[in-house]
Amino acid sequence: MRKVLLLFLSAVSTIASALTPITLQIGDATATYYEEYLDLFDGVTQYDESLLLSVIDGDMFTLIRHKTLNLIEVVRLVGADAPDSKHPDEAVARFGSESSGFAKLLLEDREVFLSYDELPRDSYGLYLAYLWIPASYGGEIYNVLFNLLAIAGGYARVYLIHPFKASYMEIFAEAERLAGLDKKGLWSDENFSATPPEPLYDPVVYITNTGEKYHQYHCQHLLQSKIAITLSEAVRMGYEPCSICRPAVVYVGY
């Protein structure tokens, strides 16, 4: 486990030294992003052009995904968890109003793009999506990832309950760590004990009843059985990564 931890910390150190924080212009607002991820949308081959109608919370929205059907649907961000800004039985969560306000400023009544991962819905049946919005930087227009914008600005934390791309997990985890170091948003209170000292990266992977490997959600070896387990637990139990689907092979926790 120590060897695995050192490998991850080495990788994170390389990522951190290479990241260049920049300020994007999105309408009348500005937001923190990273220059290295301006072209992230170039790797997206399938997406829906959608109209975002309203912000429910900093990570949940109503929108029209298909203009021909004209159906209003609720979509939740993949890999990002914003504090509740409204709840019928509880008080507003710390930084909930700021998080939803940030989302409203950047997203409401705007055309956005949605792309998806292997797991299309959460346990409540809501769509899980990567949400991309146009932003200006250096005189050019880029489609940037709002999930990452929210985490980088401290408006949301990384959410690993639902599995998603390992490469995006690494990006989100490092963005959260940097937001914590810079005391942004959620991490601005010096007495707030949840400030992340190191990135939390313990995604869900899958094992079978009889195998010795762990896999990504879509792996062909999971046709007969599919058991969800955290990466740290899989490593502790002696499972090795599948060479076919190539799941995450590193773990770091608090």
**32-76: per-residue pLDDT in tens?**
999 999 999 999 999 999 999 999 999 999 999 877 777 899 999
Query: Backbone phi, then psi, for 45, in 5-degree steps?
Result: -105, -25
pLDDT at 188: 87
pLDDT digits (tens, 9 = 90+) for 11-27: 444 444 468 999 999 98
**In the chain, where does DSSP find H-type helix?**
2-18, 96-107, 146-152, 166-181, 231-236
Q: Say what the pLDDT of residue 119 is.
A: 83
pLDDT tier at 77, thresholds 50, 70, 90: very high
pTM across the whole model: 0.71
Question: What is the pLDDT, as a whole number, of residue 90?
Answer: 55
**How do residues 109-127 score in pLDDT, each as one tens digit?**
999 999 999 888 887 888 9
Q: Give the pLDDT of residue 235.
A: 78
pLDDT on residue 201: 62
> Structure tokens of 188?
């601005």
Contacts of residue 251, Cβ cutoff 8 Å, sequence gap at least 6? 1, 4, 5, 8, 201, 202, 231, 232, 235
Is 90 exceeded by the pLDDT of residue 244? no
For residue 210, the model assigns a pLDDT of 86
Average pLDDT, the chain: 82
Indicate the SS3 state at residue 87: coil
CB contact at 8 A, 78 and 145: no
pLDDT-based confidence at residue 190 (cuts at 50, 70, 90):
low
The whole-angstrom separation of Cα 32 and Cα 102 is: 12
Tokens standing for residue 135:
């932003």
Query: Which residue, 143, 116, 148, 139, is CA-closest to 129?
Result: 116
**pLDDT above 90 (res 230):** no
Q: Indicate if the pLDDT at residue 88 is higher than 70.
A: no
> Which residue's entry shows tokens 């390992």?
166
Task: Identify the DSSP state of 208.
Answer: -
